[in-house]
Amino acid sequence: MSPQSISDSAVTPPDSAVGTTASDAPGENRHRRPRLLPTIKQAAIAFGIALALLVINDSFVFESIVVPTSSMQPTILPNERIILNHLSRTSLNRFDVVVINEGNTGRRIVKRIIGLPGERVRLEDSWKVFLNGQPLPYGQRSTEGLRTEGGDHVIRIVGDLRPPETKFGKKDLLLGPDEYFVLGDNRFASSDSRVVGPVKRDHIQGTVSGVWYSFDLVLHRFRTERIAQRIR
């Protein structure tokens, strides 16, 4: 039973029928007890059910994953825990942030989908993306080293770092019917499809919906402003 159905099933007191007001039955109103306690109990039961379902479905529907590196900065910061939605793997779109199983290594990485099946992908300067011969639009940000990519999200370009060698995408790369080209948002500090090539749909475990935990290991503080941060 969902929390919504529990709240909908609350019974209305008989003396609150149409036409009965405080002035109609003053005696009854004096002896009527507040119904706050049952409401709190119902909310607690609903929360308990939702929490139990989340625990039962962990790794089946939703999963908590820690991101230890800065390869997705500024979207995801080091040592943040993100929420992976396994059900969303059936509908993947451009710019989705996804969790990928690298296969033989057993390692999982978090990247952003840039190229879709059947598209031609090329990179210029190892970070500017061309799709089917057309460049993605890039907008300047007030913070140095940041760009808006495709009018959708922010990527990090740090000029004093050497970008990874582009083995895939230096020239037009045609993606297969089940292949995706993925990149890290921290474009100069990410090992992604430029290095390992396109990823197969079967290796994508789902999309990332948000951040629920964030702790700065350098400053030794919780990043409270990052809690419940939606990933886009």
DSSP letters for 140-163: E-SSTTEEEETTTEEEE--TTSPP
CA distances from 146 to 66, 114, 217 (A): 24, 18, 23
Q: Where are the domains of the chain?
A: 3-56, 64-230
Residue type, 105: T
Active-site annotation holder among 64, 70, 111, 214: 111
Spot the catalytic one: 71, 88, 190, 214: 71
| 171 is known as an active-site residue | no
Instruction: Give the burial string for 36-45 (b: 16+ CB within 10 Å, else e).
Output: eeeeeeeeee
71 catalytically annotated: yes
Residue 199: how many other CB atoms lie within 10 Å: 24
Task: Compute the radius of gyration of the chain from its Cα atoms.
Answer: 25
Q: What is the pTM of this model?
A: 0.74
What local confidence, expressed as pLDDT, does residue 89 receive?
A: 86
Strand bridging mode 134-135 / 199-200: unpaired
CB 15 within 8 A of CB 31: no
The CATH number that domain 64-230 falls under is 2.10.109.10
What lies within 8 Å, CB to CB, of 23 at 6+ separation is none
pLDDT of residue 79: 96
pLDDT of residue 10: 37
CA-based diameter of the chain, in Å?
A: 85
Rounded CA-CA distance 212/232 in Å is: 14
Give the single-character DSSP code of 136: P
Q: What's the one-letter identity of residue 120?
A: R
Which amino acid is residue 211, in one-letter code? V
CA 206 to chain centre: 10
pLDDT, tens digit only, all 232 positions of the chain: 333 332 333 333 333 333 333 333 444 444 555 555 556 766 676 666 556 555 545 556 888 899 999 999 999 999 999 999 998 988 999 999 999 998 777 789 999 999 999 999 999 999 999 999 999 999 999 888 999 999 999 999 986 677 888 999 999 999 999 999 999 999 999 999 999 999 999 999 999 999 999 999 999 999 999 998 999 8
